[in-house]
């Protein structure tokens, strides 16, 4: 009878641990997907800026005009990259909150399960 109770309790603890690990895995997958989107946004922005840089060179030979157009291009893409950076910060902050919440729930579940084992 005692062995049966212990086995059931250990099964319960193992299931809770597996569910907790799955939840952490899901958090990681979501974060990696979002960060990958941000990396693609940076790559696309850089490629687009490079293409516009090439286009600028073909529009004029006047050095002053080229410098002016490059300055405008830099300002535009700086703003885009800063936006991507801010989005990345938001993603990481959200990840931090999710993992903190996950850890708190995991500790509470483990504490509850071990207290149940002690009472038996």
Query: Residue 45 in contact with residue 80, Cβ under 8 Å?
Result: yes
| 112 pLDDT tier (thresholds 50, 70, 90) | confident
> Residue 87: its pLDDT value, please?
97
pLDDT at 111 over 90: no
> What tokens does 97 get?
């909150």
Is the pLDDT at 76 greater than 90? The verdict is yes
For the full predicted model, state whether its pTM sits above 0.85: no
Give the mean pLDDT of the chain.
89
Q: Where exactly are the structural domains of the chain?
A: 29-110
Closest CA to 20 of 119, 115, 112: 112
Q: Which of 48, 9, 28 is nearest to 95 (CA)?
A: 28
Model confidence at 2: pLDDT above 70: no
């Amino acid at each position: 009878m005692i062995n049966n109770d212990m086995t059931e309790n250990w099964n319960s603890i193992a299931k809770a641990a597996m569910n907790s690990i799955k939840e952490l895995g899901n958090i990681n997958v979501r974060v990696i997907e979002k960060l990958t989107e941000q990396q693609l946004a940076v790559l696309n922005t850089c490629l687009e800026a490079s293409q516009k840089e090439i286009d600028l060179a073909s529009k004029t030979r006047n050095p002053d005009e080229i410098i002016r157009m490059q300055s405008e291009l830099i300002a535009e893409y700086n703003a885009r990259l800063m936006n991507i950076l801010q989005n990345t910060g938001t993603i990481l902050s959200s990840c931090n909150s999710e993992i903190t919440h996950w850890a708190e729930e995991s500790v509470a579940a483990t504490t509850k399960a071990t207290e149940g084992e002690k009472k038996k």
